[in-house]
Amino acid sequence: MADMSRWRRRLLTLEFTALAVLVGSMTIFRQHSAANPLHPAWLLIPALASLLLFLSFLGLMYLRWVAAATDAPRQGVQRLILIILTITLLALWAYGIGKTWQSIQQSRSGTAVSIVPAVPTGALS
């Protein structure tokens, strides 16, 4: 049990440190404008901070759901649910990072960026 407590403390420290870095970097980057552009490589800081935030969150969920489960059948089901949740969250994170990077590259090249899919004009009538 002491080992779980040590891991929980480490993961909580990582989670809140990553959250502070994420919020701090977003606050600093907000000050940049089109006249004072930010190099896209700087966006790795909030991207990595958000990844560490997700991973520590998932680690804490593992400790609460899977490691704390006492009976084997329940532990297997909870492990499966956590795996599905992990894949989903990391896929959404990767999709968001990819779309952000694509948007930055398109805005730097001067092409229009739209996050809403185009609807054909005849489709609404």
pLDDT (tens digit per residue) in 29-57: 888 766 777 777 888 999 999 999 999 99
pLDDT for 118 beyond 60: no
Give the H/E segment covering residue 101.
helix 72-109
* pTM of the shown model: 0.76
Instruction: Indicate the pLDDT class of residue 3, thresholds 50, 70 and 90.
Output: confident
The 10 Å Cβ neighbour count of residue 11 is 19
For residue 10, the model assigns a pLDDT of: 95
Q: How far apart are CA 65 and CA 78, in angstroms?
A: 6
Highest-confidence segment of 63-67, 96-100, 119-123: 96-100
Mean pLDDT to the nearest integer, 81-108: 90
pLDDT at 58: 94
Domain boundaries, the chain: 2-33+43-104
pLDDT in tens, 7-24: 999 999 999 999 999 999
pLDDT of residue 11: 95
